[in-house]
Chain A
Amino acid sequence: MSFKETDIINIVVAGTAGQGVISVKRLIEFAAQKAGAERILGSEIFI
Chain B
Amino acid sequence: MHGLAQREGAITSHTRYQKKLFNNPRKDLQSSLICYGDADIYICLEPVEALRRGIFASEKTTFVINSRTIPGVMITAGLEKYPSLDKIKETLIGNAKDVYFINATEISLEYFKQNQQVNIIMLGFAISTNKLPFIEIDHYEDVIKEWLKDPEINIKALHLGIEKGKEIIEKMNLNPDKIE
What's the tally of chain A residues with a CB closer than 8 Å to chain B? 45
Residues of B within 8 A of A2 (CB): 133
- In the complex, which residues of chain A have a beta carbon less than 8 angstroms from the beta carbon of B10? 14, 16, 47
- In the complex, what's the smallest C-beta–C-beta distance from A35 to chain B, in angstroms? 4
Q: Kindly list chain A residues whose C-beta atoms are within 8 Å of the C-beta of B5.
A: 17, 46-47
Cβ contacts under 8 Å, B173 to chain A: none
Q: How many residues of B contact A (CB 8 A)?
A: 66
Query: Quick check: A12 and B133 within 8 Å, CB to CB?
Result: no
Please measure, in the bound complex, the distance between the C-alpha atom of A21 and the C-alpha atom of B101, giving whole angstroms: 17
Whether A38 contacts B18 by the Cβ 8 Å rule is: yes
Which of B32, B49, B123 is close to A24, meaning CB atoms less than 8 Å apart?
B123
Interface residues of A (CB under 8 A from B): 1-3, 5-32, 34-47
Q: Could you list some 27 contacts between A and B, CB below 8 A? A: A8-B16, A8-B29, A10-B56, A12-B14, A12-B43, A13-B13, A14-B12, A15-B119, A16-B8, A16-B11, A17-B8, A25-B15, A26-B147, A27-B123, A27-B147, A28-B132, A34-B143, A35-B19, A37-B17, A39-B28, A40-B16, A41-B16, A42-B15, A42-B32, A45-B13, A47-B6, A47-B10
